[in-house]
Amino acid sequence: METVLQQIDREHLPKHVAIIMDGNGRWAKERGEDRLFGHLHGVQSVRDIVEASAEIGIQYLTLYAFSTENWDRPQAEVAGLMELLVNTVRREVDQMKKNGIRLHVIGDFSMLPPSARQELSEALEMTAENDHLHLILALSYSGRWDLTQAFRQLAQKVLAGELYTESIDADVISAHLATRNFPDPELMIRSSGEHRISNFLLYQLAYAELYFTETLWPDFRRQHLYEALIDYQQRERRFGKTSEQLTP
Ligand code: FPP
């Protein structure tokens, strides 16, 4: 019998997959545990999905690890999540280095505690030579924050006479986003049954296929990723054109 993995066409993988890892809190609540218990188990899913993505040949993987809105959660949860994120990066960085994974972080770093910033920048440096899989952590990130910082840069360049207003187009805007070095995601996955983009990559998801699953993030494993990839490959991506225009 053909396994789920064998059904995936390696020639037509999305280059960039973005994931909203949702449902850790509900997973913990179902077990009568604290929300942090859910985040802790969510790390196992992160590990499995990063490993599977590298194996199958996905080139860019963006994980929504902490949104700018998440700063408003109870202080103990924020502190616990930060600690978990930093400790996970610290623990995994050697393995990432060995496996050709390059770590990137996008977000509003001014909000991060200095120790976390320091730890992350060391991990970025340690993996800077790699290019098998680009793992992008969206940390203290939101789509509106990203657009705002891009528009500020553009306004400053116009004011300084370095850029004509008429030259601003979609490519120029993309080149000022935090994701400027990565292609736009072709597939966005959200776990836990919520059907929202929740201020994630607002500009970059313009043509992405959206895939929603009921599975809570701590239960999300590589077979769920494979299912999402198969679903993606069964869709026709038209970019506003008609089907007839796409078939030569
Ligand atoms: C959403 O679940 C999840 C988060 C806000 C945090 C995601 C973080 C991890 C999986 C931890 C580690 C990540 C890395 C990259 C090392 P939720 O708390 O909103 O769940 P709920 O909707 O059920 O309340």
Residue by residue, pLDDT tens for the chain (248 residues) are: 578 999 999 999 999 999 999 999 999 999 999 999 999 999 999 999 999 999 999 999 999 999 999 999 999 999 999 999 999 999 999 999 999 999 999 999 999 999 899 999 999 999 999 999 999 999 999 999 999 999 999 999 999 999 999 999 999 999 999 999 999 999 999 999 999 999 999 999 999 999 999 999 999 999 999 999 999 999 977 778 887 888 76
Q: Which two tokens stand for residue 177?
A: 């986003």
How far does residue 20's CA lie from ligand 1's centre (Å)?
9
Residues with CB under 6 A from ligand 1: 21-26, 35, 39, 42-43, 46, 63, 65, 70, 84-85, 88, 137, 192, 217
* 3-state SS string for 32-99: CCCHHHHHHHHHHHHHHHHHHHHHHCCCEEEEEEEEHHHHHCCHHHHHHHHHHHHHHHHHHHHHHHHC
Domain at 5-232, CATH from 3.40.1370.10, 3.40.1180.10, 3.90.70.10, 2.40.50.140: 3.40.1180.10
